[in-house]
Amino acid sequence: MSLLEVRGVMVRFGGIMAVGGVDLDVQSGEVTGLIGPNGAGKTTLFNVISGMQEPTAGSVQVSGVDVTNEAPHRRAKRGLARTFQRLELFSSLTVRDNVRVAAELAALTNIDETVDNLLEKVGVSELAEQTAGDLPTGSARLVEIARALATGPRLLLLDEPASGLDEAESDRLGVLLRELAADGLGVLLVEHDMSLVMHVCDRIFVLDLGFIIANGTPNEIQHDPKVLHAYLGAPS
């Protein structure tokens, strides 16, 4: 049984097919990549998994439990956490309070300690007392990850966490993702930074125009002709 099982998920906006019947699995202890050109339907799929978008058809299961009709906050209680492509920090709270809200919602016992550890872990301890709305994008992304981790998730959905990060930060993010996987978390990563994706992912799904066109190890994906075609266009 996979940690996350997406089966036949389809999303239609009026006449537009955003996601057209996607199957996808995420295993505990692995980093799974989800890549694809802009407009492929990655964020829509994320919204379906986290409960913000009702699918036209298909189902989402977390640890074998069907959550397709559950509200986002109930899915969070089942161990699902996500970050957002366009930042969704609580901009008038401090960095510490952003993470604390999440820890409190998870009803953890030693909240202060957890918050300090998480800020340390993603490397933003020195920003703890700053107002989140004033952060540069890179730091804000890291705070979002810390906040998602504060709910004690089993499955972490990351929507382009490396955009806005510099090279050093991006490398550290890669290390962090491997650590999380080693701790037993399942990570689903949407990312455009190919070197990061190829570096950290155990398995990669490629989405194009709403359909999964390939899945496999980074090595397999890099040499898949369909993927090359989707990214680079038809060879002339």
Whole-number Å distance between alpha carbons of 114 and 180: 15
Provide the minimum distance between the beta carbon of 80 and another protein in the complex, in angstroms, as a whole number: 8
Contact criterion met (CB below 8 Å) for 189 and 170: no
Figure out which of the listed residues 45, 145, 147, 160 binds another protein, where binding follows CB under 8 A: 147
End-to-end CA, the chain: 43
Place of tokens 């301890």: 125
* Residue number with CB closer to another protein (24 or 150): 150
Q: How many residues bind another protein (CB under 8 A)?
A: 36
Residue ranges in 32-136 assigned as alpha helix (H): 42-50, 72-77, 95-105, 111-122
Answer yes or no whether residue 82 interacts with another protein by CB under 8 A: yes
- Three-state secondary structure call for residue 114: helix
Answer yes or no whether residue 50 interacts with another protein by CB under 8 A: yes
Answer yes or no whether residue 101 interacts with another protein by CB under 8 A: yes
Answer yes or no whether residue 151 interacts with another protein by CB under 8 A: yes
Instruction: With contacts defined by CB under 8 A, name the span among 144-152, 173-181, 208-216, 219-227 that binds another protein.
Output: 144-152
Answer yes or no whether residue 51 interacts with another protein by CB under 8 A: yes
Contact criterion met (CB below 8 Å) for 185 and 3: no
* Residue number with CB closer to another protein (82 or 215): 82
Question: Between 103 and 122, how does the x/- string for binding to another protein read (CB under 8 A)?
Answer: -xxx----------------
- Three-state secondary structure call for residue 126: helix
Answer yes or no whether residue 76 interacts with another protein by CB under 8 A: yes
What is the tally of helices (H) and strands (E) in the chain?
Answer: 9, 10
Answer yes or no whether residue 155 interacts with another protein by CB under 8 A: no
Provide the minimum distance between the beta carbon of 62 and another protein in the complex, in angstroms, as a whole number: 13
Residue from 192, 221, 227, 213 nearest 20 by CA: 213
User: How many C-beta neighbours within 10 Å does residue 108 have?
Assistant: 17
User: How many C-beta neighbours within 10 Å does residue 148 have?
Assistant: 22
Answer yes or no whether residue 126 interacts with another protein by CB under 8 A: no
Residues between 187 and 206 with contacts to another protein, criterion CB under 8 A = none
Which residues of this protein are in contact with another protein, per CB under 8 A? 47, 50-53, 71-73, 75-77, 80-82, 84-86, 88-94, 97, 100-102, 104-106, 131, 133, 147-148, 151
